[in-house]
Amino acid sequence: MNTRAQEAAGNLLARHREITGPRTFRLLGLEWDLLPGVYAPHLAQSSALYAEWIPYPLFGSFCEVGSGTGYIAVTAALRGCAEVAAIDMSRAAADNTRRNAERHGVADRVRVSCGDMFEPLGGDERFDMIYWNSNFVEAPAGEASADDLDRAFFDPGYAAHEAYLAGAAARLHPGGRLLLGFTDLGNASLIDEIAVRHGWRQVTLRAAECLAPQGRINYRLIEFLRA
Protein backbone atom coordinates (compact mmCIF):
# COMPACT_ATOMS: atom_id res chain seq x y z
CA MET A 1 0.00 0.00 0.00
CA ASN A 2 1.11 3.56 -0.72
CA THR A 3 1.92 5.00 2.71
CA ARG A 4 2.03 8.55 1.34
CA ALA A 5 -1.48 8.10 -0.04
CA GLN A 6 -2.70 6.63 3.26
CA GLU A 7 -1.27 9.58 5.18
CA ALA A 8 -2.73 12.16 2.79
CA ALA A 9 -6.17 10.53 2.86
CA GLY A 10 -6.08 10.19 6.64
CA ASN A 11 -5.33 13.89 7.10
CA LEU A 12 -8.02 14.96 4.66
CA LEU A 13 -10.54 12.54 6.16
CA ALA A 14 -9.89 14.05 9.61
CA ARG A 15 -10.71 17.52 8.24
CA HIS A 16 -13.95 16.16 6.79
CA ARG A 17 -14.98 14.70 10.15
CA GLU A 18 -14.73 18.17 11.66
CA ILE A 19 -17.71 19.18 9.50
CA THR A 20 -20.64 18.36 11.76
CA GLY A 21 -23.39 20.54 10.34
CA PRO A 22 -24.64 21.92 7.01
CA ARG A 23 -22.58 24.71 5.52
CA THR A 24 -21.77 26.35 2.21
CA PHE A 25 -18.52 26.61 0.29
CA ARG A 26 -17.35 28.54 -2.76
CA LEU A 27 -15.97 26.81 -5.85
CA LEU A 28 -15.88 27.71 -9.55
CA GLY A 29 -17.16 31.17 -8.66
CA LEU A 30 -20.39 29.76 -7.19
CA GLU A 31 -21.82 28.94 -3.76
CA TRP A 32 -22.60 25.31 -2.97
CA ASP A 33 -24.36 23.45 -0.16
CA LEU A 34 -22.39 20.88 1.84
CA LEU A 35 -23.91 18.33 4.21
CA PRO A 36 -21.91 16.54 6.92
CA GLY A 37 -20.66 13.12 5.86
CA VAL A 38 -20.25 14.19 2.21
CA TYR A 39 -16.92 14.71 0.44
CA ALA A 40 -16.04 18.42 0.55
CA PRO A 41 -14.66 19.50 -2.87
CA HIS A 42 -13.23 22.80 -1.64
CA LEU A 43 -10.76 20.90 0.57
CA ALA A 44 -9.02 19.29 -2.43
CA GLN A 45 -7.11 21.08 -5.20
CA SER A 46 -8.24 18.53 -7.77
CA SER A 47 -11.92 19.51 -7.61
CA ALA A 48 -11.70 22.73 -9.61
CA LEU A 49 -9.17 21.17 -11.99
CA TYR A 50 -11.43 18.30 -12.96
CA ALA A 51 -14.47 20.57 -13.28
CA GLU A 52 -12.59 22.73 -15.79
CA TRP A 53 -10.89 19.87 -17.62
CA ILE A 54 -13.95 17.72 -18.37
CA PRO A 55 -15.05 18.17 -22.03
CA TYR A 56 -18.78 18.19 -21.24
CA PRO A 57 -20.84 16.96 -24.21
CA LEU A 58 -22.82 20.02 -25.33
CA PHE A 59 -26.53 19.12 -25.70
CA GLY A 60 -25.58 15.53 -24.85
CA SER A 61 -26.03 13.18 -21.90
CA PHE A 62 -23.65 12.99 -18.93
CA CYS A 63 -23.46 10.51 -16.06
CA GLU A 64 -21.47 11.12 -12.89
CA VAL A 65 -20.72 8.19 -10.61
CA GLY A 66 -20.04 9.21 -7.00
CA SER A 67 -21.63 12.64 -7.31
CA GLY A 68 -21.00 13.77 -3.71
CA THR A 69 -22.14 17.39 -3.41
CA GLY A 70 -23.10 17.29 -7.08
CA TYR A 71 -20.86 20.15 -8.16
CA ILE A 72 -19.68 18.26 -11.28
CA ALA A 73 -23.17 17.05 -12.24
CA VAL A 74 -24.58 20.56 -11.78
CA THR A 75 -21.67 22.09 -13.69
CA ALA A 76 -22.36 19.66 -16.55
CA ALA A 77 -25.94 20.93 -16.74
CA LEU A 78 -24.85 24.57 -16.47
CA ARG A 79 -22.38 24.06 -19.31
CA GLY A 80 -24.89 22.68 -21.75
CA CYS A 81 -25.56 19.00 -21.11
CA ALA A 82 -29.21 18.29 -21.87
CA GLU A 83 -29.48 15.27 -19.56
CA VAL A 84 -27.44 14.53 -16.44
CA ALA A 85 -27.60 11.45 -14.21
CA ALA A 86 -25.92 11.73 -10.81
CA ILE A 87 -25.35 8.55 -8.78
CA ASP A 88 -23.99 8.10 -5.28
CA MET A 89 -24.28 5.21 -2.84
CA SER A 90 -24.53 7.66 0.08
CA ARG A 91 -28.02 8.96 0.86
CA ALA A 92 -26.52 12.13 2.31
CA ALA A 93 -24.59 12.71 -0.93
CA ALA A 94 -27.66 12.08 -3.08
CA ASP A 95 -29.58 14.61 -0.98
CA ASN A 96 -26.66 17.04 -1.24
CA THR A 97 -26.63 16.72 -5.04
CA ARG A 98 -30.36 17.43 -5.20
CA ARG A 99 -29.92 20.54 -3.06
CA ASN A 100 -27.24 21.93 -5.32
CA ALA A 101 -29.21 21.13 -8.48
CA GLU A 102 -32.10 23.11 -7.00
CA ARG A 103 -29.81 25.91 -5.80
CA HIS A 104 -28.47 26.42 -9.32
CA GLY A 105 -31.75 25.96 -11.17
CA VAL A 106 -30.97 22.73 -13.02
CA ALA A 107 -33.08 20.23 -11.07
CA ASP A 108 -35.10 19.59 -14.24
CA ARG A 109 -31.96 18.28 -15.99
CA VAL A 110 -30.12 16.56 -13.13
CA ARG A 111 -31.65 13.24 -12.10
CA VAL A 112 -30.23 11.95 -8.83
CA SER A 113 -30.16 8.29 -7.77
CA CYS A 114 -28.84 6.55 -4.67
CA GLY A 115 -27.09 3.24 -5.30
CA ASP A 116 -23.84 1.46 -6.06
CA MET A 117 -22.08 2.33 -9.33
CA PHE A 118 -24.48 1.81 -12.30
CA GLU A 119 -27.02 -0.21 -10.30
CA PRO A 120 -29.76 2.50 -10.17
CA LEU A 121 -29.85 2.99 -13.95
CA GLY A 122 -32.54 1.56 -16.18
CA GLY A 123 -31.67 -1.45 -18.31
CA ASP A 124 -31.20 0.47 -21.57
CA GLU A 125 -29.84 3.80 -20.29
CA ARG A 126 -26.73 5.01 -22.11
CA PHE A 127 -24.76 8.26 -22.08
CA ASP A 128 -22.43 10.33 -24.20
CA MET A 129 -20.01 10.65 -21.28
CA ILE A 130 -19.47 8.94 -17.93
CA TYR A 131 -17.19 10.42 -15.27
CA TRP A 132 -15.98 9.39 -11.83
CA ASN A 133 -13.61 11.20 -9.47
CA SER A 134 -12.58 7.95 -7.85
CA ASN A 135 -11.74 6.90 -4.30
CA PHE A 136 -8.21 6.19 -5.52
CA VAL A 137 -6.52 5.35 -2.20
CA GLU A 138 -5.94 1.60 -2.22
CA ALA A 139 -6.83 -0.41 0.88
CA PRO A 140 -6.39 -4.14 1.59
CA ALA A 141 -8.99 -6.31 -0.16
CA GLY A 142 -11.83 -7.27 2.15
CA GLU A 143 -11.21 -4.39 4.54
CA ALA A 144 -14.51 -2.98 5.80
CA SER A 145 -15.23 0.73 5.39
CA ALA A 146 -16.23 2.56 8.56
CA ASP A 147 -18.86 4.75 6.85
CA ASP A 148 -19.72 6.65 3.67
CA LEU A 149 -16.91 9.16 4.20
CA ASP A 150 -14.40 6.35 4.53
CA ARG A 151 -15.67 4.86 1.25
CA ALA A 152 -15.21 8.25 -0.44
CA PHE A 153 -11.45 7.93 0.13
CA PHE A 154 -10.56 4.23 0.20
CA ASP A 155 -11.24 1.40 -2.25
CA PRO A 156 -10.33 -2.00 -0.74
CA GLY A 157 -8.78 -4.18 -3.44
CA TYR A 158 -9.86 -1.61 -6.02
CA ALA A 159 -13.20 -3.40 -6.20
CA ALA A 160 -15.04 -0.17 -7.07
CA HIS A 161 -12.61 0.58 -9.90
CA GLU A 162 -13.14 -2.95 -11.18
CA ALA A 163 -16.91 -2.43 -11.17
CA TYR A 164 -16.57 0.90 -12.97
CA LEU A 165 -14.46 -0.47 -15.80
CA ALA A 166 -16.47 -3.68 -16.01
CA GLY A 167 -19.86 -1.97 -16.27
CA ALA A 168 -19.21 1.24 -18.17
CA ALA A 169 -19.18 -0.09 -21.74
CA ALA A 170 -22.81 -1.17 -21.51
CA ARG A 171 -23.73 2.35 -20.38
CA LEU A 172 -22.13 4.33 -23.20
CA HIS A 173 -23.60 5.33 -26.53
CA PRO A 174 -21.51 4.35 -29.57
CA GLY A 175 -18.64 6.82 -29.51
CA GLY A 176 -19.35 7.70 -25.88
CA ARG A 177 -16.47 8.68 -23.61
CA LEU A 178 -15.37 7.20 -20.27
CA LEU A 179 -13.38 9.46 -17.91
CA LEU A 180 -11.73 9.05 -14.52
CA GLY A 181 -10.25 11.59 -12.11
CA PHE A 182 -7.08 10.07 -10.65
CA THR A 183 -3.75 11.00 -9.00
CA ASP A 184 -0.28 9.59 -8.51
CA LEU A 185 -1.35 8.65 -4.98
CA GLY A 186 -3.41 5.87 -6.54
CA ASN A 187 -2.22 2.53 -7.91
CA ALA A 188 -1.72 3.35 -11.59
CA SER A 189 -0.39 -0.09 -12.52
CA LEU A 190 -3.42 -1.81 -11.00
CA ILE A 191 -5.77 0.56 -12.86
CA ASP A 192 -3.99 -0.34 -16.09
CA GLU A 193 -4.28 -4.05 -15.30
CA ILE A 194 -8.02 -3.75 -14.60
CA ALA A 195 -8.53 -1.68 -17.75
CA VAL A 196 -6.82 -4.24 -19.96
CA ARG A 197 -8.86 -7.02 -18.37
CA HIS A 198 -12.07 -5.27 -19.43
CA GLY A 199 -10.94 -4.25 -22.90
CA TRP A 200 -9.84 -0.67 -22.25
CA ARG A 201 -6.63 1.26 -22.71
CA GLN A 202 -6.00 4.53 -20.89
CA VAL A 203 -4.75 7.88 -22.12
CA THR A 204 -4.17 11.04 -20.09
CA LEU A 205 -6.33 13.93 -21.29
CA ARG A 206 -5.02 16.53 -18.83
CA ALA A 207 -2.56 16.58 -15.96
CA ALA A 208 -1.21 19.06 -13.46
CA GLU A 209 1.20 18.91 -10.54
CA CYS A 210 0.19 20.81 -7.41
CA LEU A 211 1.88 21.37 -4.08
CA ALA A 212 0.04 19.85 -1.12
CA PRO A 213 0.94 19.36 2.58
CA GLN A 214 2.15 15.84 1.67
CA GLY A 215 4.35 17.16 -1.14
CA ARG A 216 3.72 17.44 -4.87
CA ILE A 217 0.71 15.55 -6.21
CA ASN A 218 0.08 14.87 -9.89
CA TYR A 219 -3.61 15.05 -10.80
CA ARG A 220 -4.78 13.34 -13.99
CA LEU A 221 -7.94 13.22 -16.04
CA ILE A 222 -7.86 9.80 -17.70
CA GLU A 223 -9.91 8.70 -20.69
CA PHE A 224 -10.44 5.00 -21.34
CA LEU A 225 -10.60 3.93 -24.99
CA ARG A 226 -11.68 0.57 -26.29
CA ALA A 227 -8.57 -1.54 -26.81
pLDDT at 7: 81
With contact defined as beta carbons under 8 Å apart, do 94 and 125 qualify? no
Q: Residue 214 pLDDT > 80, yes or no?
A: no
> Into how many domains does the chain fold?
1
CATH, residue 208: 3.40.50.150
DSSP letter for 142, please: T
State the Cα–Cα distance between residues 23 and 21, nearest whole angstrom: 6
Residue 216 parent element (H or E):
strand 215-226
> What's the whole-model pTM score?
0.95
Q: pLDDT per residue over 156-169, tens digit each?
A: 999 999 999 999 99
State the Cα–Cα distance between residues 31 and 22, nearest whole angstrom: 13
Q: pLDDT per residue over 101-135, tens digit each?
A: 999 999 999 999 999 999 999 999 999 999 999 99
Find the domain containing 139 and state its range.
3-226
